[in-house]
């Protein structure tokens, strides 16, 4: 298998391409070294999915590995209801639906569909306030944007110049390493 794109890195790449590289530098260390409080809280809340303790219902897939040969994506889904075709990505606190959230969900959907499942509904679920946001299924324009993003990720080099966003940089956990 060629190098695949981890689905979890799609949102990170849109936040800042260089942060994906910096994350790879830190991966060998304990997450306590580089995770900020919101990331740690999110990880704790995500454990029910990782340990498959969200539900005992047999028609709910939770925390399963998914892969897309077409897009060369690999990752895990949070929750997929096989009865009604609803795929949900859980985030600790959703203040705004970012493109990265949608594209992460699209990636999971494409993987599931290549695995033979029919995805009919998409949701982002905010755990902190228990709100569920319906995300429209991607149209041709959204699929084209997604495919262009995958191409950018595949072609990205850490030495490339990238536009900086001071608001994002101020909140970035890798700020001390950034040049």
CA distance between the termini of the chain? 33
Give the helix/strand (H/E) hosting 120.
none
Domains and CATH numbers, the chain: 5-177 (3.90.320.10)
pLDDT tens for 28-61 read 665 565 555 555 555 555 566 566 666 667 889 9
Q: Which of 147, 97, 159 is nearest to 126 (CA)?
A: 97
pLDDT tens for 3-18 read 889 998 898 888 887 7
d(CA 159, CA 173) in angstroms, rounded, equals 20
- What predicted TM-score, i.e. pTM, was given to this entire model? 0.81
> Residues 82, 59: contact at Cβ < 8 Å?
yes
């Amino acid at each position: 298998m060629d190098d695949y794109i981890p689905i979890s890195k799609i949102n990170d790449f849109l936040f800042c391409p260089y942060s994906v590289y910096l994350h790879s530098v830190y991966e060998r260390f304990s997450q306590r070294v580089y995770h900020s409080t919101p990331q740690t809280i999110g990880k704790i809340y995500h454990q029910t999915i990782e340990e498959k303790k969200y539900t005992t219902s047999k028609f709910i897939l939770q925390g399963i590995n998914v892969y897309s040969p077409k897009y060369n994506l690999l990752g895990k889904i949070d929750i997929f209801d096989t009865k009604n075709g609803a795929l949900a990505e859980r985030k600790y606190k959703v203040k705004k639906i970012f493109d990265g959230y949608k594209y992460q969900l699209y990636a999971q959907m494409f993987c599931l569909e290549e695995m033979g499942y029919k995805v009919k509904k998409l949701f982002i679920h905010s755990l902190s306030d228990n709100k569920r946001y319906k995300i429209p299924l991607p149209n041709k324009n959204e699929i084209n944007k997604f495919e262009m993003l995958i191409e950018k990720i595949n072609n990205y080099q850490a030495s490339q110049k990238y536009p900086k966003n001071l608001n994002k940089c101020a909140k970035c956990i890798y700020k001390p390493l950034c040049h």
